[in-house]
């Protein structure tokens, strides 16, 4: 259902307000470049600084702009289970094809708590659910055995795995098999995860290099390993540049340098330092993006 290069799309702002035109233009560009799916309201979409009505509007605009051409997987995670249910239910009502739910953050649930959290959302809302494990941001690592337990929920279909730990990725696939669609949550691990049996990635880099990100996944799927490897190495400098400061600061700065959005963030995120912006420019110029 969900595979290939899925972009964790930025949320552009203009004078503090969601820039719907820039957003729709980005979506059209992604579809033309071969992106396989759109994730509105993820980490890269600054979901943590959107109020509820903004959150719903971003999802609604994405669904309407995509118009069923590729899947839309709406970010609906929260550190309150009841809130996650509300967000996920609304995403389904708005027409999203799936929901991406980050592990509850800050409150550091146990593995049993994680299991009960996701099961409660899956039982409450009949929508395909993508789990999202990113301990570097949430301070909790959802272990493979917990994911395997969650496979009893028929609408939990995939996992965005952002630990960077290929041993953990391998264990996930060993325990869950074809029942789980494993997606990379870190661009630098996408090709490795494809080799293990993953199906693609939810990407930051695809915001600025959608054609190459989609091309790498397409090459792998058709068995052209040499081409997939070539694109992986071409993308590596961009992958690194996307994290020289906290995501999504570099990627939004890059898109502004490309003339696709305004260079605008919401506090507590702010503009890049001058030195890092020069490094970012160098990476983009080296890749022929600007």
Q: What is the DSSP string of 214-258?
A: HHHHHHHHTT-HHHHHHHHHHHHHHHHHTTSSSTTHHHHHHHHHT
Query: pLDDT digit string (tens) for 70-96?
Result: 999 999 999 999 999 999 999 999 999
Given 118, 132, 252, 277, the catalytic residue: 132
What average pLDDT does range 270-290 have in this prediction?
Answer: 95
Closest CA relative to residue 108, chosen from 131, 142, 84: 142
List, for residues 107-135, the tens digit of each pLDDT value.
Answer: 999 999 999 999 999 999 999 999 999 99
What separation in angstroms does the CA of 104 have from each of 33, 97, 140? 33, 22, 8
Look at the block and give the residue holding tokens 């009505």: 53
pTM: 0.96
- The DSSP code sequence of 3-14 is -EEEEE----EE
Q: Is the pLDDT of residue 268 over 90?
A: yes
Which residue of the set 3, 92, 160, 277 is catalytic? 160
Assign 247 a pLDDT band (cuts: 50, 70, 90).
Answer: very high
Res 2: pLDDT? 97
Q: What is the mean pLDDT of the chain?
A: 97
Active site residue 160: yes
Cα–chain center distance at 21: 21
Q: What percent of the chain has pLDDT over 90?
A: 100
Domain ranges for the chain, please list them: 4-222
**Backbone CA torsion sign across 190, 193, 197, 198:** negative
- Does the active-site annotation cover 281? no
Q: 4-222 — its CATH code? A: 3.20.20.70
What's the pLDDT score for residue 1?
83
pLDDT of residue 134: 97
Mean pLDDT of 143-165: 97
The residues that bridge with 200 in the sheet, in sequence order, are 4, 183
Q: Is residue 269's pLDDT more than 90? A: yes
Confidence of residue 4 (pLDDT cuts 50, 70, 90): very high
Residue 124: what are its φ and ψ, rounded to 5°? -85, -30
**Band (277; pLDDT cuts 50, 70, 90):** very high
- As a whole number, mean pLDDT of residues 212-233 equals 98
């Amino acid at each position: 259902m969900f595979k290939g290069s899925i972009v964790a799309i930025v949320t552009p702002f203009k004078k503090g307000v969601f820039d719907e035109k820039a957003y729709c233009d980005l979506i059209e560009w992604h579809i033309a470049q071969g992106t396989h799916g759109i994730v509105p309201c993820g980490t890269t979409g600054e979901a943590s600084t959107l109020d509820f009505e903004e959150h719903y509007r971003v999802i609604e605009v994405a669904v309407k702009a995509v118009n069923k051409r590729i899947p839309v997987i709406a970010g609906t995670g929260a550190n309150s289970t009841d809130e996650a249910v509300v967000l996920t239910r609304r995403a389904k009502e708005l027409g999203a094809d799936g929901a991406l739910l980050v592990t509850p953050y800050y409150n550091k649930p146990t593995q049993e708590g994680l299991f009960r959290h996701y099961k409660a959302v899956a039982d409450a809302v009949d929508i395909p659910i993508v789990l999202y494990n990113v301990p570097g941001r949430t301070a909790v690592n959802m272990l493979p055995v917990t994911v395997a337990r969650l496979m009893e929920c028929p609408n939990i279909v995939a996992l965005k795995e952002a630990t960077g730990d290929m041993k953990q990725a391998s264990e996930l696939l060993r325990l869950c098999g074809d029942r789980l669609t494993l997606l990379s949550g870190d661009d630098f691990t996408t090709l490795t995860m494809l080799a293990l049996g993953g199906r693609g990635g939810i990407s930051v880099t695809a915001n600025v290099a959608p054609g190459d990100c989609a091309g790498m996944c397409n090459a792998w799927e058709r068995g052209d390993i040499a081409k997939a490897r070539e694109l992986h190495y071409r993308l590596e400098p961009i992958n690194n540049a996307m994290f020289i400061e906290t995501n999504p600061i570099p990627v939004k700065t890059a898109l502004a340098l490309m003339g696709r959005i305004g260079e605008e963030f919401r506090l507590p995120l702010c503009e890049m330092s001058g030195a890092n912006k020069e490094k970012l420019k160098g990476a983009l110029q080296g890749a022929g993006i600007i």
